[in-house]
Amino acid sequence: MPDPIFVTDPRHAGIARDLYAVARDLPLISPHGHVDPALLADDEPFGDPARLLIVPDHYVTRMLLSQGIPPDRLGVPRRDGGPVETDPRTIWRLLAANWRLFRGTPSRLWLEQTFRTVFQVDIPLTKDTADDVYDAISARLAEPGFRPRALFERFGIEVLATTESPTDDLSRHAKLAADGWGGPGGRVITTFRPDDVVDLERDGWAGNVARMGELAGEDTTTYAGYLDALRRRREAFIEAGATSSDHGHPTARTVALSPAEAAELYERGLRGEATADDAETFRAHMILEFARMSIDDGLVMQLHPGASRDHNRALFAAHGRDVGGDIPMATDYVRALRPLLDAHGMDPRLRVVLYTLDETAFSRELAPLAGGYPALFLGAPWWFLDTPDAMRRFREAVTDSAGFYNTAGFVDDTRAFCSIPVRHDVARRVDAAYLASLVVQDRLPFPEAAETMADLAYHLPKRIFRLEKR
Amino acid sequence: MPDPIFVTDPRHAGIARDLYAVARDLPLISPHGHVDPALLADDEPFGDPARLLIVPDHYVTRMLLSQGIPPDRLGVPRRDGGPVETDPRTIWRLLAANWRLFRGTPSRLWLEQTFRTVFQVDIPLTKDTADDVYDAISARLAEPGFRPRALFERFGIEVLATTESPTDDLSRHAKLAADGWGGPGGRVITTFRPDDVVDLERDGWAGNVARMGELAGEDTTTYAGYLDALRRRREAFIEAGATSSDHGHPTARTVALSPAEAAELYERGLRGEATADDAETFRAHMILEFARMSIDDGLVMQLHPGASRDHNRALFAAHGRDVGGDIPMATDYVRALRPLLDAHGMDPRLRVVLYTLDETAFSRELAPLAGGYPALFLGAPWWFLDTPDAMRRFREAVTDSAGFYNTAGFVDDTRAFCSIPVRHDVARRVDAAYLASLVVQDRLPFPEAAETMADLAYHLPKRIFRLEKR
Amino acid sequence: MPDPIFVTDPRHAGIARDLYAVARDLPLISPHGHVDPALLADDEPFGDPARLLIVPDHYVTRMLLSQGIPPDRLGVPRRDGGPVETDPRTIWRLLAANWRLFRGTPSRLWLEQTFRTVFQVDIPLTKDTADDVYDAISARLAEPGFRPRALFERFGIEVLATTESPTDDLSRHAKLAADGWGGPGGRVITTFRPDDVVDLERDGWAGNVARMGELAGEDTTTYAGYLDALRRRREAFIEAGATSSDHGHPTARTVALSPAEAAELYERGLRGEATADDAETFRAHMILEFARMSIDDGLVMQLHPGASRDHNRALFAAHGRDVGGDIPMATDYVRALRPLLDAHGMDPRLRVVLYTLDETAFSRELAPLAGGYPALFLGAPWWFLDTPDAMRRFREAVTDSAGFYNTAGFVDDTRAFCSIPVRHDVARRVDAAYLASLVVQDRLPFPEAAETMADLAYHLPKRIFRLEKR
């Protein structure tokens, strides 16, 4: 039975297993992700294995596309409502027939471990076993113990944050709160993600802003009203349990504008006259504005820059956003964050968690920044980098300048609810392997490594994302 | 007897050796390189050891230059015809006396393995043994079994692609075809490399274009005639066995011009009025033009961007191109390839193999791109990166997002005919070591690793470079 | 007793220890650093443990700041003379209470090894043992054997270079020479660091130039006089033993200006009218000017580009320069160094040692450059990269293209006198581990690895920094 510890030397592996044992059964803290809150609010049974595990997983559909299998054949909905494959078993067999594409990838690791540890299905997936695996998982999904809330408890999740736009009415979180699952200190909380109402270039921005104004009861035809609306929505999110916000801009650029300058850009946006430069400046300015709001209301800021969104234009045209068409870009943090850090980098009330898709920034920029400013922490390796090898490279690259305690712990950032325990488990194994390398090299005594292990797996994310006072 | 498997842990090494055994005796596919076709067309005996192994190897002469030994003393011809060292034994002794400079480098590995496995000379090279090694290799070179075609067969080469300009009349390939060695499906084929007639900045560009026009029987005084000439030459290359083209621009930039815009740049070039910007735009445009031709005629495109050519100006002035004076540059692919990918990235008829000299692009840009577009594949680590350590880093960096099956297999890219088997052997050992790390870490079962091993060594390059229908 | 060799596999570790044994007791060559020469000129006893080991160590104070402990509480002097913590025991306890922040960092490694090997204090530092460790080190510091010159001899330092500005009168080096410790061929020598008089943007630049003029007896109101003054000061530095200069510009840019163009920028600087662009151009030009001076007088040039100085503005405002507020930046060398290399890259009289804070440049730019130009050598991993893991990555990244003999050996670059033996020891252990990996992988025979080991540890820095004729 596979039990990877991501280490080759036997003595090293032994120590790694001892450290992993410290963290294995600790509760899961999931302070950032994209699970649909309706899943837990409604607690309906999951659908079939393909719609649960393949169709919405853009890591999987992207890889199949790269070898010429279009998303239509995998059941990914089209924007034009055109026909796509609807038979889940056909979709499942297509994955199985192309399973070799996933050798060595994190998708394979997560899926195999999910089959085994979540669904207790130990049959290796091949072209020939596709139906057997499908049927076995289907059978599990029909059991009451495989409804979302039952799995949530079985997974040992202590807290799970979903991500919503200010234009969301948070009704599903209200339902969760009514059921004793949500609200401040609850098991399922939200995260404030304002990109929809901040990015002047986004389709429907003006409509989003108006919708936010309605929900907030503020007049968003002025910049001052827009800021008030954002503050009101943050309050509502905090009432729905939020402890953090999330910001996914193309770059990490920040800029300090006067209110009058910002208002001018905002008004240009409302008039539909904003240029690409205006939009970039406004996004950069709003990071500082949100930092000020965070200092007031305590939301931890997460910055997720560096994705070239919808790079694959044909894919976007056919299937829309978040289907595997984004590509990382080289990302500067040193110059980009300077205005934010000049203004608030030394303020202990501010907490900013930095992510990257550009791993060259780990040792050169992010670790020195997080190791030099009280307000900064390093987020876990993100997206294309949330893999055993990249997570190891992250620790090797950042520990020198940032240590362990300027890192924010693992964040699964996933839409795939059933993969949550596996992803945390892999992260814990990788951290155990890294800490064990320090022990075996005489650089850290075992007891300190063990304490660090528990901190990385549990205590640090809980503290840094302000999930402690519960 | 050295038998490096590039692994330290004994259990890991054992599995690596088992995987290497799967690939060790598979035929060599060499779909991209710079061997002179005259070598195999004429099948004359090789010269002396120095002229065979030192003088033309810019990895070697560059390293000696870096420690103050000028290429003149190594027999590298001067552009002005001035005197250079002519005694091969003197040149050989100079290498031996400075052999320590090559400790830990791939040049040492390749040369030592070439001495041993190609020439059966097991004497370690030192200042004191220089003459012994020289004499032993000289003796071999005098034997009939060491003529190029005999070695070709002994090396187990199934197919070898050389690289020619559209201005080449392909007479050596005609000779090879006449001898039953060349032509479509032959053992020695050509590759279409049009840089000479695409780069407006290159010395002699206009003359090259005119020469191509003559060979093609097309009037290249117009842009339309220029495109027709390129198409004719591609046909001639395909008749000489070519299955791919190669494009070595300074950047990966692509741009979609209208025919009128492209014609204007072309005419400016003919008038000698093109600026550096014009030249860059024209190169970028021609990549799209060649993509369209590839969709029509099936040639696989190889992109080799990112070299600052002739960076060492004094070296270029004295000895010309391709003598070790090029330096890698940071290279963007995400923005640069967008116009190409917008136009043709989803077309299954197009096949583009991407190379880089900038290894930061592996995980950040190249693997996500190849793992997201059907038209893209990743070429082997190139040039400064064709080393055991860099090849390992390549697999560690790209497998997460691209898997194995979006990589195109090993390409030796060498001018050094006698180093071909050694280079493939090293690549196979490195891939075995990487695959074994997955096996030993419980991430891939041995049988799947073994199948992947054979694919990487043989089946993948054969398929991706369209060498199968033979 | 910890004895880290930075390797996990036992056989690999055994060979590494054998190689380390070759270098362990070789004398220390410290050709670049920031020890205060007054320390050795005056040979006064050190102060308390906190003022010796914590207050001036910006690696330590920076990490504590990153977790909200301001430098004031650590006794770092304020520019405004405001109150800071003055009790060394309180400062020491604060470090001990936060010792976990340093797990896995080089600071912890250096400090622990310093406690143990320099002060023979074996008590692990914890909150509870803080006073014991403090008292034990204090007791040592009171002994005559722990005065600077006694430690210098005990450390086995053969030569130590400090770093001074041309505005320094070198009186401490005169004292050292008078005592038989300094001067050409002496044990303590200086380094010529002209940034103070080259960087038009630096506060007090004009005053610095005037001061230099006085010391040199030259009229610096003209550019020609400025160059003469620099030449005079270089002569004085050479008389004080200097064999190298050091240049710490924001970028690696070089540019070839005519004397008239340079004079115009200089005069603009004197009039207080220089722009940021002027300053960058002047710095870039002066690198070429200094290269010409080096060709004449033989000083080895060191280039230290790529730091965003005083990035933490609040820290700079409160505590000034060199207190941990600098951050690395992405740094280009390929284009930036071209003018310098065009002019003098092939001149065997010139010797330029290149450093970087951007490790992506190691394999992509620095190793190919150093492996292709006689004038270039690679400096040791610098600052944020002077750690076991980064030093290993350096060797793995540069050896392919530069080998060992285009690298300049270890440079401690430290202000912390007592950490010198530990830093060299760590570097020797890391190089031993890397060389052992080549031995264990059958890529280098042990005797050659052993010879290389001694070269890296001792012979190379001595030769490259021109410290041999002594």
DSSP letters for C178-192: HTTS-STT-SEE--B
Q: Which helix (H) or strand (E) holds A293?
A: helix A276-297
- Measured distance CA(A80)–CA(A62) in Å, rounded: 20
For residue B417, give the 3-state DSSP assignment. Answer: helix
Query: pLDDT band for position A470 (50/70/90)?
Result: low
* C chain contacts of residue B65, beta-carbon cutoff 8 Å: 372-374
Closest partner CB to B372 (pick from A104, A325, A358)? A325
Query: Would an 8 Å CB–CB cutoff place A368 in contact with chain C?
Result: yes
Q: pLDDT tens digits for C33-44?
A: 999 999 999 999
* A chain contacts of residue B406, beta-carbon cutoff 8 Å: 66-67
Q: What is the pLDDT averaged over residues C257-264?
A: 98
Q: What is the DSSP letter of C426?
A: H
Q: Which helix (H) or strand (E) holds C119?
A: none
Question: Is residue B172 exposed (0-12), middle (13-18) or buried (19+ Cβ within 10 Å)?
Answer: buried
List the subunits that have 3+ CB pairs under 8 angstroms with C.
A, B
Q: pLDDT tens digits for A272-314?
A: 999 999 999 999 999 999 999 999 999 999 999 999 999 999 9
- Which residues 280-309 in chain B show a CB within 8 A of chain C? 308
* B chain contacts of residue C440, beta-carbon cutoff 8 Å: 8
Closest partner CB to B399 (pick from A7, A105, A358)? A105
* B469: pLDDT strictly greater than 90: no
Starting at the edge strand that comes first in sequence, how are the strands of the sheet with B352-354 ordered?
Answer: B244-247, B300-303, B352-354, B376-378
Letter for the amino acid at A185? Answer: G
List the subunits that have 3+ CB pairs under 8 angstroms with B.
A, C
Q: What is the DSSP letter of A203?
A: T
- Which residues 395-454 in chain A show a CB within 8 A of chain C? 396-397, 399-406, 437-438, 440-445, 448, 451-452
Residues in chain C: 470
Query: pLDDT band for position C3 (50/70/90)?
Result: confident
* A chain contacts of residue C10, beta-carbon cutoff 8 Å: 11
pLDDT for the residue A3: 85
Q: What are phi and psi of A93, to 5 degrees?
A: -65, -35
Whether residue C327 and residue A368 make contact (CB cut-off 8 A), yes or no, is yes
Q: Which two tokens stand for residue A76?
A: 């990914």
pLDDT for the residue C462: 98
Closest partner CB to C312 (pick from A373, A442, A444)? A373
pLDDT for the residue A1: 56
* C chain contacts of residue B364, beta-carbon cutoff 8 Å: none
* A268: pLDDT strictly greater than 90: yes
Query: pLDDT band for position B1 (50/70/90)?
Result: low
From residue A163, give the alpha-carbon distance in Å to each of A174, A188, A286, A386, C409.
14, 11, 19, 19, 51
Query: Would an 8 Å CB–CB cutoff place A102 in contact with chain B?
Result: yes
Q: pLDDT tens digits for C386-396?
A: 999 999 999 99
* C2: pLDDT strictly greater than 80: no
Q: Which two tokens stand for residue B416?
A: 């050094």
Q: pLDDT tens digits for B328-383?
A: 999 999 999 999 999 999 999 999 999 999 999 999 999 999 999 999 999 999 99
* A chain contacts of residue C66, beta-carbon cutoff 8 Å: 370-374, 376, 402, 406
Q: What is the pLDDT averaged over residues B309-319?
A: 97
Angle C192-C193-C196 (CA atoms, 0-180°, nearest 5)? 135
Identify the residue among A103, A105, A362 best suited for mutation to test binding to B, counting B beta carbons within 10 A and taking the highest. Answer: A103
Cβ contact B189:B157 at 8 Å: no
pLDDT for the residue B388: 96
One-character DSSP codes across B266-330: HHHHHTT---HHHHHHHHHHHHHHHHHHHHHH-PEEEE---EETT-SHHHHHHH-SSSS--EE--
For residue A295, give the 3-state DSSP assignment. Answer: helix
Whether residue C345 and residue B106 make contact (CB cut-off 8 A), yes or no, is no
Whether residue A384 and residue B373 make contact (CB cut-off 8 A), yes or no, is no
* B225: pLDDT strictly greater than 70: yes
Q: Shortest Cα distance from B241 to chain A (angstroms)?
A: 26
Identify the residue among B20, B66, B362 best suited for mutation to test binding to C, counting C beta carbons within 10 A and taking the highest. Answer: B66
Whether residue C314 and residue A448 make contact (CB cut-off 8 A), yes or no, is no
Q: What is the mean pLDDT of chain A?
A: 97
Q: Which residues pair with B245 in a beta bridge?
A: B192, B301
With CA atoms as reference, the chain B residue closest to C14 would be B8
Starting at the edge strand that comes first in sequence, how are the strands of the sheet with C157-161 ordered?
Answer: C28-30, C157-161, C188-189
Closest partner CB to C330 (pick from A332, A404, A437)? A332
From residue C188, give the alpha-carbon distance in Å to each of A255, B25, C144, C156, C161.
48, 61, 20, 13, 6
Q: pLDDT tens digits for C321-330?
A: 999 999 999 9
Letter for the amino acid at C277? Answer: D
Q: pLDDT tens digits for B49-102?
A: 999 999 999 999 999 999 999 999 999 999 999 999 999 999 999 999 999 999
- Measured distance CA(B426)–CA(B387) in Å, rounded: 8
- Measured distance CA(C160)–CA(B237) in Å, rounded: 64
In sequence order, what E strands does C28-156 have? Answer: 28-30
Identify the residue among C373, C407, C446 best suited for mutation to test binding to B, counting B beta carbons within 10 A and taking the highest. Answer: C373
Q: What is the DSSP letter of A299?
A: P
Q: Shortest Cα distance from A359 to chain B (angstroms)?
A: 7
Letter for the amino acid at B470? Answer: R
For residue B189, give the 3-state DSSP assignment. Answer: strand
Query: Would an 8 Å CB–CB cutoff place C330 in contact with chain A?
Result: yes
Q: Which two tokens stand for residue A25?
A: 């059964």
* C470: pLDDT strictly greater than 70: no
Query: pLDDT band for position B470 (50/70/90)?
Result: low
One-character DSSP codes across C204-261: THHHHHHHHHHHHT--TTSHHHHHHHHHHHHHHHHHTT--EEEE--SS-------HHH
* B3: pLDDT strictly greater than 90: no
- What pTM, to 2 d.p., does this model score? 0.97
For this complex, say whether ipTM is above 0.85. Answer: yes
Whether residue A402 and residue C66 make contact (CB cut-off 8 A), yes or no, is yes
Q: Shortest Cα distance from A227 to chain B (angstroms)?
A: 34
Identify the residue among B333, B340, B373, B453 best suited for mutation to test binding to A, counting A beta carbons within 10 A and taking the highest. Answer: B373
Query: β-strands C327-328, C307-308: how paired?
Result: antiparallel
Q: pLDDT tens digits for A330-353?
A: 999 999 999 999 999 999 999 999
Query: pLDDT band for position B2 (50/70/90)?
Result: confident
Closest partner CB to A66 (pick from B9, B371, B444)? B371
Share of chain A above pLDDT 70, in %: 99
Q: pLDDT tens digits for A355-393?
A: 999 999 999 999 999 999 999 999 999 999 999 999 999
Cβ contact A162:A36 at 8 Å: yes
* C1: pLDDT strictly greater than 70: no
Identify the residue among A327, A364, A387, A426 best suited for mutation to test binding to B, counting B beta carbons within 10 A and taking the highest. Answer: A327
List the subunits that have 3+ CB pairs under 8 angstroms with A.
B, C
Domains, chain B, ordered by start = 10-46+149-465 (3.20.20.140), 47-146 (1.10.2020.10)
